[in-house]
Structure 1
Amino acid sequence: MISEKLNLNKEDVKMCRQLGWRSLPLSAAIEMEKFQALGYVRAMIPVINRYYQTEEERIEGYKRHWEFFNTTPTVAGFITGLSAAMEKQASEDTTMDRTSINAVKASLMGPLAGIGDSIFWGSWRVISTGIGLSFAMQGNVLGPILFLILYNVPACIVRYYGPFIGFGLGSKFLNQISNSGLMQMLTKFATIIGLMTVGAMSSSMVSLKLTYVFNSNGVETSVQSLIDSIMPSALPLALVFICFYFLKKNVKPITIIVFIILFGIVGRFIGIV
């Protein structure tokens, strides 16, 4: 049991469970000034109420976490657990600088968002989508089911156990992971895996073929066959690069999708695709 390995008592386990469940809807009430702050305050209510007895201390605790916060929701549980460990320390040591609690939050949300985005959004979601699509394209109902299971099971496990690990390790984790270089290694590894997956999906799942045929001295020649003789799958690759270019120019994905649909309809109507 993880609680035994981290030396957590029953009250600690109960609190970490509450943190895990309350961190699930972290992004449900995003507002443009402080982003996930409201969800973070809600997650920390059981912690503040446990370690502070007076109304003034609790109000101060709520206000302390009503600050800008934004990270990948999947890894946010770890930060709430770490904040809980620091709140416990602050309640026991009146000389502790309580502004350090928000300082640690601010220093963690960026690096952990990088790891969370790379692993879950940039890599694992793409891999899960690829596996699900390979079934769905064959008309197999397992496609969407596999996607939901493959992505959500690991994500929910990380969300649930994050507070346990954060609270158990305490504030020493920040120094350990920075000094060991683990954070940089994980980010680089996840980026490589994500790029490999996107490359494989571009080759196997993106399809673009020209149907136009021209006549030269009575011989019909397909434009697509000419392109394939020079570089197979050149058109799907070009389409991927064009979409990537517009994404880099901050064009919304839905706009690109609509454009591709219109291109397909018009191209089919005039007989080129």
Structure 2
Amino acid sequence: MQAGGWLYSILPGLEKIHTNKKDLAASMSHNLEFFNTHPFLVNFVMGIVLSLEQNKADIPTIRAVRVAAMGPLGGIGDALFWLTLVPITAGITSNMAINGNIAGPFLFLLIFNAVQFGLRYFLMNWSYKMGTNAIGILTASAKEFTRAASIMGIFVVGALTVTFGDTKLNLVIPNGHSKIDIQAILDGVLPSMIPLAIVLLLYFLMRKFKWTPLRCILLVLVLGLLGSGFGIWPSIWPK
């Protein structure tokens, strides 16, 4: 999966370490085996592997360390970036963009890339100096860290759902001389019930039927346009 990119990334280091062409060929060969981890945390594995290569560790040891390190990083990276950093950063900067501040998208790119590139640099140097000890430090609390980051990310997504997904019903039922506002009744039961229901529906579709985010976006777009056209939501169509 990522083996080609992995070898390309560490090749300059391997060429400096292995001056003998046969040793270099053997190292390149085993580094072309299956590899798959989080792209923003891959530098952690690079540092460890290059440290082992420099110390002339045997190939089975390097292979075992590489496989052991790439697994936990997938869960940690998803929790750290996609469930925590991106929702928080996007929530703040998208609000700026909605209010007409052109700095919003640029600030998002600046914060996101500063964090991920800074983390890449730090992990590369730290894991190279620590060697195989870095794996023990990482995996010791990986489960707790991943759970904490996931909870924070879900909390942020819930807050963004209420803030930016304030969908309301436009259904009013005549009742003699008065009218029954369906949205007011729903707000009395649970404020922002409609956006919550939509989010739970999308979660159900992705979890149960393996829907992709793109299909969910298209579904929301269709529901929004049709609902506005038929008067279910406040209309976007000119009267």
* TM-score class normalised by the smaller sequence: over 0.9
CA contact (8 A) 1:47 1:87 kept: no
Looking at structure 1, the residues matched to 154 and 226 of structure 2 have their Cα atoms a distance apart, in angstroms, of 32
Is 1:183 the counterpart of 2:149 in the alignment? no
In the alignment of these two chains, the number of paired residues is: 232
1:207 Cα deviation after fit: 2.0
The answer on 1:103 being equivalent to 2:103 is: no
Matches of residues 1-273 of structure 1 in structure 2 within 5 Å? 35-90=1-56, 96-178=57-139, 181-248=140-207, 249-273=209-233
- Taking the aligned partners of 2:88 and 2:30, their CA distance within structure 1 comes to 39
- Counterpart secondary structure, 1:272: coil
User: C-alpha separation between the residues in 2 aligned to 1:182 and 1:266?
Assistant: 48
C-alpha distance in structure 1 between counterparts of 2:145 and 2:165, whole Å? 29
- Name the residue aligned to 1:13: none
Q: CA deviation at 1:162?
A: 2.1
Q: Secondary structure at the match of 1:192?
A: helix
Distance (whole Å) between structure 2 residues aligned to residue 37 and residue 130 of structure 1: 34
* 2-structure distance, mates of 1:41, 1:190: 30
What TM-score results when the alignment is normalised by the length of structure 2? Answer: 0.92
1:172-206 Cα offsets, whole Å, 9 max, x none, are 2223444xx32223212211211211121112111
Cα distance change on mapping 1:175 and 1:220 into 2, 3 Å? closer
- Structure 1: runs of 5 or more not aligned: 1-34, 91-95
Cα distance in 1 between the residues matched to 2:203 and 2:137: 37
Partner Cα distance (1:209, 1:252) in 2: 26
Q: Which moved more, 1:157-166 or 1:71-80?
A: 157-166
How far apart are 1:142 and its partner, in Å?
2.0
1:47-93 CA distances to partner (integer Å, 9 max, x unpaired)?
22112122211111111100111111111011101100000111xxx
Kindly indicate whether the alpha-carbon contact (under 8 Å) linking 1:131 and 1:146 is maintained by their aligned counterparts in 2.
no
Distance in 2 (alpha carbons) for counterparts of 1:171 and 1:82: 6
Consecutive unaligned residues of structure 2, counting only runs of 5 or more, are 234-239
Task: Give 1:89's aligned amino acid.
Answer: N
Q: Within 1, Cα distance between the matches of 2:105 and 2:133?
A: 41
Aligned-partner residue type, residue 145 of structure 1: F
Cα deviations by residue, 1:2-35 (Å, 9 ceiling, x for unpaired): xxxxxxxxxxxxxxxxxxxxxxxxxxxxxxxxx1
The offset of 1:42, in angstroms, is 0.7
SS of the residue 2:55 aligns to = helix
Partner of 2:237 in structure 1?
none
Q: Residue in 1 aligned with 2:236?
A: none
Q: SS state of the match for residue 73, structure 2? A: helix
Indicate the RMSD between aligned Cα atoms, in angstroms.
Answer: 1.4
Is the CA contact (8 Å cut-off) linking 1:136 and 1:143 kept in structure 2? Answer: yes
Distance, in Å, in 1 between the alignment partners of 2:212 and 2:67 is: 28
> In the superposition, relative to structure 1, how do residues 176 and 272 fare at CA in structure 2: closer, same or farther (>3 Å)?
closer
Contact 1:41/1:62, CA 8 A, preserved across alignment: yes
Counterpart of 1:269 in structure 2: which amino acid? G
Q: For residue 83 of structure 1, what is the amino acid of its counterpart? A: V
Provide the rounded CA distance (Å) in 2 between the counterparts of 1:267 and 1:186.
41
